[in-house]
Amino acid sequence: MLRVGVNGYGTIGKRVADAVRAQPDMEVVGVAKTRPNFEAEQAVEKGFPLYAAVEDRVELFDEAGIELAGMVEELVADSDVIVDACPSGIGEQNAEMYAEYDTPALYQGGESADFVDASFNARSNFSDASGADHVRVVSCNTTGLSRLVAPLREEYGVEKVRTTLVRRGGDPAQTGRGPINDIVPNPVTLPSHHGPDVNTIFPDLDIDTLGLKVPATLMHMHSVNVTLESEPDADEVRDLLEGESRLFVIPDHFDIDGAGKLKEYAQDVGRPRGDIWENCVWGESVTTEGDDLYLFQAIHQESDVVPENVDAVRAVTNSADAEESIRKTNEALGMGI
Ligand code: NAD
């Protein structure tokens, strides 16, 4: 069994802990938190040993009556792999601690690509993380774009990708984020950071991205144009995308017109937290004009990186190849809606 610790038990960390626990070849050694909030309470309720991430906060847990298993250093020492899901920038600060205990670490998309050995997307570059000590699982948007681009490159060749990302202002629980009533080019300069981030997965890909922020919390929406190196018809492309295990091509008759109904569907089918781990591509939007492909896809920012973290655990420990890991992860989670 691979022993996995999770440092930073928030939006991403708590989902990764549940996904790791669901795997037949992994166990959660424990999770570390800075504050005794509702998520800390739930971690204990679920039976995850809870470690304090900061020494001076230990008494806050005592006061709240939440029992600690120890300090984060003990969790790191006891884990085969650490998933760091701390807020952006904290992961890099933690890197030294992981190195000190010789524990390979996975970081999240908010971290810089500069200090890690590899950036990771299971479908696109699994083996780049093989045996690495510091691996960054790329952001929700970069994960979504990489999953889409990988099969298109393999099947048709890609000349250029142009994508406009309509980004949610914040996650549902992020009460302080915005905009509340605006449509904001973000960043207003081009390219947005997303294109260069996709290049950490596909260094030679020609990609331009533009970003906007809107008053929404449910999902991101990508308006995608890919200039291909051949001229497939739309049905062919749609078949290709339907064959990808982490792309959900929304059937026309589902009558799903946006992120609201997608989330409703995810809840109806019993997805934990209403999560959608797959890219959601509107089948009807898949259109070709000569060598240009167009489509819309929605990305559930809180969860699409979760199966990728699980696969990255197997990649850094060399315990499976891409195909086997993706299959195992998908089966254990119940991917494919
Ligand atoms: P979050 O704020 O929901 O969770 C972070 C957790 O880490 C919180 O519980 C916080 O209390 C805890 N924490 C803070 N400092 C800590 C420390 N020093 N040690 C241990 N824990 C600490 O953040 P999140 O949304 O889960 O984001 C985590 C990372 O994942 C970021 O890099 C982010 O960019 C990336 N990411 C977020 C999303 C998203 O949409 N939420 C999507 C993909 C990637």
Q: What is the mean pLDDT of residues 220-227?
A: 98
pLDDT at 104: 98
Confidence of residue 263 (pLDDT cuts 50, 70, 90): very high
Domain containing residue 95: CATH number? 3.40.50.720
Sheet of 70-71, strand order: 70-71, 50-52, 26-33, 2-7, 81-84, 105-107, 134-137, 118-120
Q: What integer is the mean pLDDT of 175-199?
A: 97
The closest residue, in CA terms, to atom 39 on ligand 1 is 302
Over the stretch 31-66, which tens digit does the pLDDT of each residue have? 999 999 999 999 999 999 999 999 999 999 999 999
What confidence category does residue 84 fall into, taking pLDDT thresholds of 50, 70 and 90? very high
- State whether 209 and 95 are in the same domain: no
CATH code of the domain covering residue 232: 3.30.360.10
For 163, the enclosing helix (H) or strand (E) is: strand 158-168
Residue 140 and residue 299: Cα distance in Å, rounded? 7
Task: Answer yes or no: do 156 and 124 share one domain.
Answer: no
Locate the ligand 1 atom nearest the alpha carbon of residue 13 and give its number.
Answer: 26
Q: How many domains does the chain have?
A: 2
pLDDT for 160:
98
DSSP secondary structure, 19-64, as one string: HHHTSTTEEEEEEEESS-SHHHHHHHHTT--EEESSGGGHHHHHHH
Task: Identify the pLDDT of residue 201.
Answer: 98
Tokens read off for 216:
């929404």
Record the tokens describing residue 268, joined without a space. Answer: 């109806």
> Does 139 appear as a known binding residue?
yes
**Residue 98 and residue 39 in one domain:** yes
Report whether pLDDT(337) > 90. Answer: no
User: Is the CB of 241 within 6 Å of ligand 1?
Assistant: no
In the chain, what is the greatest distance between 2 CA atoms, to the nearest angstrom?
66
Q: Are residues 173 and 30 in the same domain?
A: no
Q: Judge whether residue 207 has pLDDT over 90.
A: yes
**Residues 156 and 214 occupy one common structural domain:** yes
Write the pLDDT tens digit of every residue in 87-146. Answer: 999 999 999 999 999 999 999 999 999 999 999 999 999 999 999 999 999 999 999 999
Same domain, 95 and 241: no
pLDDT digit string, tens, across residues 230-248: 999 999 999 999 999 999 9
Q: Does residue 292 share a domain with residue 152?
A: yes
Give the span between the Cα atoms of 335 and 312, in whole angstroms.
Answer: 17
Find the domain containing 277 and state its range: 141-299
- Compute, in angstroms, the gap from residue 170 CA to the centroid of ligand 1: 13
Which atom of ligand 1 is closest in space to residue 173's alpha carbon?
A: 3
Decide: 306 in ligand 1 pocket, CB within 6 A: no
Computed over every residue of the chain, the mean pLDDT equals 98
Give yes or no: residues 79 and 184 share one domain: no
CA distance 255 to 192: 32
pLDDT of residue 49: 98
Distance from Cα 172 to the centre of ligand 1, integer Å: 14
d(CA 249, CA 64): 46
Mean pLDDT across 260-269: 98
Q: Are residues 294 and 152 in the same domain?
A: yes
* Active-site annotation holder among 140, 148, 224, 276: 140
Pocket test for ligand 1, best of 6, 34, 58 (most atoms within 8 A of CB): 34
Phi, psi of 130, deg, nearest 5: -55, 120
Is the CB of 142 inside a 6 Å radius of any atom of ligand 1? no
The CB of 8 under 6 Å from ligand 1? The reply is: yes
Does residue 336 carry a pLDDT above 90?
Answer: no
Interior/surface letters 296-320, b for 16+ CB within 10 angstroms, e for the rest: bbbbbbbbbbbbbbbbbbbbbbebb
Q: What is the pLDDT of residue 193?
A: 96
* DSSP notation for 212-257: EEES--S-EEEEEEEEESS---HHHHHHHHHT-TTEEEE-GGG---
String of b and e for 12-47 (b: at least 16 CB within 10 Å)?
bbbbbbbbbeebeebebbbbbbbbbeebbeebbeee
**Burial (CB count <10 Å: 0-12, 13-18, 19+), residue 336:** exposed
DSSP structure class, residue 169: S
Whether residue 124 contacts residue 147, with contact meaning beta carbons closer than 8 Å, is answered with: yes
Is the beta carbon of 12 within 6 A of some atom in ligand 1?
A: yes
DSSP classification of residue 182: -
Probe ligand 1: pick from 7, 74, 108, 146, max atoms within 8 Å of CB?
108
Is ligand 1 within 6 A of the CB of residue 76?
A: no
Ligand 1 proximity of 88 Cβ (cutoff 6 Å): yes
| 25 and 132, same domain (yes or no) | yes
Respond yes or no: is residue 280 known to be catalytic.
no
Query: The complex's ipTM?
Result: 0.99
Whether 120 and 135 have beta carbons less than 8 Å apart is answered as: yes
Which residue out of 7, 12, 61, 68 has the highest number of ligand 1 atoms within 8 Å of its CB and is therefore the one to mutate? 12
Same domain, 285 and 211: yes
Contact 123, 246 (CB under 8 A): yes
15 annotated ligand-binding residue: no
Asked if residue 309 lies in contact with residue 300, where contact means CB atoms within 8 angstroms, the answer is no
The residue whose CA is least distant from atom 9 of ligand 1 is 10
The pLDDT value recorded for residue 189 is 96
Measured in Å, residue 115 CA sits from the centre of ligand 1 at 18
Q: Could you tell me if 103 and 227 lie in one domain?
A: no
Q: Is any ligand 1 atom within 6 A of the Cβ of residue 51? A: no
